[in-house]
Structure 1
Amino acid sequence: MKPNLNSEIIAVIATNNEGIIYQFNEGAEILLGYSASEMIGLKTVNSFLVDKEVKKFKKDIALKYNSKDSDFDPYKLLAKYNGYDARECTIVKKDGATFISLSTLTPLINESGKNIGFIRIIKNITNQKHIEAELLRKNQVLNSAEKITMMGNWQWNLITNDVTWSSNLYNIFEVHPNKKLTYDTYFSFVHPDDKALVTNSVEKSLNDKFFYDLLHRIKTTSGKTKTIQLLGELITDKAGNIIEIIGTCQDVTEQRMAEIKFKGLLESAPDAMVIVNELGNIQLINKQAEKLFGYHAEELINQPVEILIPQRYSHHTTHRKTFFETPKTREMGEGKELYGINKKGKEIPIQISLSPLKTEEGLLVSAAIRDITFQKKAENKILQANENLELLANKLTSQNIQLADFAHITSHNLRAPVSNLNSLLDFYKAAKSEEERTILFDKFETVINHLTLTLNTLIEALKTKDGRSKPMELLSFNDVLNKTKEILSGQILKTNTKIVCDFSEKPNIKYNKVYLESIFLNLVSNAIKYKSKDRTPEIFIQSVVEDGIEKLKFKDNGLGINLERHGHKVFGLNKVFHRHPEAKGVGLFMTKVQVESMGGTISVESVVNEGSTFNINFNK
């Protein structure tokens, strides 16, 4: 037979990363009422947790680690930061009964630093919670209860030194009612360690003619140590001489013990605790609060709580009054950054939980204050890391764009000269005289030189980030066309292409050399590539200035494009409109990107079997 449930039994439950239980100790069997065989490999911890509290756990973890993802796994997040979670929660036993537990959740990390699961330790604290609740209740009603049951009155005649006690006072001191009493009788019961305190207090009261309340210990006849509270009033004669002192004596032993326990609980709290009354004055603080704010308790007692709050929170007084009107346990400033200020004036990032505490003397508020400086530093490091990653990502993206741009330009712009070399090679093989071969060989040399220059220029272009940042220079349209004709000389000869130009209106332009040469090469080679079989290819290139806009027009008599069918994708990547073995759908896309990156636009007019005209506006 298993022992009865008690607070000494500890449940140890281990789960893997999927939440499946693989260890369920005997303590867990006793506390939860399940056998290990019922749980191991079959159940998760959620089977005995309350859904509402599981959601609260997830919310707390999100807040603790600043997670904005609504679908995050709190267990994985806890493991990521190698944290732990300790909280009070409700446990549902197999028979449906519940109890309050202290549950501690800790990630299991192997030697490689990898999370392999979690271990949960559960302790029944139901009795402890009942004791705590009872302690608080007693603390609230102790004053009124003891005034009725544990109080006596006394009189001290200073002329005769006789002392008179009420019957209940005899009970407090455990003295026989027939015993003759004097001041010395009372003083003989004073605790040895408190005799100096009592002597000094009485002498001060007599000298000042004002009775100072006195709290001290006594040793009763049976040897018990009690704590008593003395309140009194001095009576004088007409001459002002003190002739008698009357007062009350209250046995506050239990109250004192309760205060000691309460302070013990307060001191054992991991957070700084500050207790404030309805006026906003500090009534009690613990050592953690002293450490956090740098004050001694004596410096803060009865001081306004605003002494611990930066001046910019001037609205705090209004918020405090509102809380006292509708007190309830809650976290203060949820979703906001809160700060306290220490004795040296340094601001401290904090989290605050407020709890109301009703007493006979009025409503008190207990503030649990947690220093989150370390957490804020961690958050800032994460934010900084994210910013650095974002900068790196942007840099890599920019570099990838540059590489892609370079790859497209290189592969496409080198294809034309290579094709031209093949054409020249065909002419060279067909040449019948040495003179023809010499002329063709000179053309070989020219094309190869241009090819080398193009490669070097493209490599230099890779060093810039975008079209607007590329180097600009004054270029001659005629020079660019001549270079294009030299690069494409083989194809021009092979197709008998006629190229006519008119650059008289606008002979020069300030532009990026790589882009302008690429634009010419793409549009001229496209006109030759898509020539009509029925006529000799003709290309007319003209530069003009219309309405202040610099323009360049490329007109051909080739196959033309069905704009009704293909107009929306003329400049798309990998879009082709004619069957041709060298059609890749890259040239027009690159031309559009280059023109637009320099702040211009490009459009096309075309009629099938008549030809096309490409219009470039260099500025919008």
Structure 2
Amino acid sequence: GNIFSLLAEGRMIKEMVAARRKLKESEKKFRALYELSPTSYILSDFETGEILDFNSSFEKTTGYTKEHLGKLKVQDILMTVSKTQLHRIKKEIESTSTFGPEEQEYIKKDGTQFPVLVSGSLVGNKKGRKLLWSTAQDISESKLTEAQLREEKQLLKTLIDNLPLNVFIKDLESRKILVNKAELDYVGLKESDVIGKNDFDFYDKKSAQVSREEDLEVINSRKPMLRKETMSVKKDGTATSFLSSKIPLVGSDNKVKGLIGISLDISDLKRKEDELHDLINVTSIQNKKLVNFAHIVSHNLRSHTANFSMLLDFLVSETDAEEKNRIIKMLMEASDNLLETLENLNEVVAISTNINLDKKPVCLFEKIQNVEKNLTAYLKNHNAVIINDVEEDLEVKAVPAYAESILMNFITNAIKYRNPMRKPVVRLTAEADGDYTVLSIKDNGLGIDLEEHGSKLFGMYKTFHENPDARGIGLYITKNQVEAMNGKITVDSEVGKGTTFKIYFNDKN
């Protein structure tokens, strides 16, 4: 029994020696890690804050050495921490035996400060003392990097906020994750009301759908969309023309994360472009009118001068006194005709060159009544009836003198070219049609063969009936007056039944 007891004791001693050896080896390894670690380790008294030990990293970081042990406290290396923060940390340790990680400011031996990320753990009692192991990682470089990134981000934001362009970044679902000031000003909202929203939240369904399809094309194809003219219509109906570019946003893993959008508001440019096109069109039309007018003047004056020349030749060679008087009478009539032609041409020139027309609200019903009163004898003489079905309070924007002239021309024409088989009736009605008020003047006269005469209906000195009073100038002047007010005329006619003229008064422009 003694032998077995001795053997057991020997085995136990051997195991204890082996365990101590392993413990020493572990302690050596821990000490090596402890000393070589780039993180500062601090052992302190939890109650008093006295620092009992620290590693070489702490020495290098703070400038304190082992000689300061026994005199150095945690409070000496900490920047002033509020009582609330200290109370919170103490409560956390007492509750969980750990605290952190959290940012604090340490003070070096030379008085300089630096930021650290601190965490700690309560490791138990030693001779009646609560010990606290703390780790402190110097985060000066990361804080400096963060500050630089913040500064660069602010510089970038300042740059894009001051660009005269709408700049935005969208994710794969077309939600906006970054917008600049111009984009916010355009949608009229704060950044917090825009981030995370897509185009369907700001624009009408059609505009938003077009934008989404463009986004998907850029994202899926990984190809940019550059300088494309687009139209955005807000939910309030406001339309804006943009010159837009969308570029795929590719991450470091070479996957598309979304897109970058850049838009330039070209609405003013488009308006100026449209105005230029309108001006070119007007100039072209005016040039055509000028050429046509020159041909008409040349033809008419040549006809009058030829007539004068012939009559004067007859007068010079004529010996009979009675015949001379007849030729003189013909010369006087030719002179009157020339004056009438010149007056007509002057009126056409006045209409074509007057660019400062003063359009005013004109009560159409009252204007028709005035024309009817001025034509009382003429209407009575031809047993004509005027039916004024225009609303009494209806107003159109027109040059008052032009409005009266237009009504006078169409009403007198309706009676002049009446059907001899029936009493002339002229009916006037009006209705709204978009930006126009449309006046319809319908008669039951002879009618016009539009297939034959439609293309030259409003030409100067064009007549279509064997009427001795026809001069072929009224419709030409009327059309010029209507077009000078940015209006237009249409006609519908059937031979033997009558004609309807529609005059479009432009109420907007």
TM-score, normalised by the number of residues in structure 2: 0.45
TM-score, normalised by the number of residues in structure 1: 0.38
Larger Rg: 2
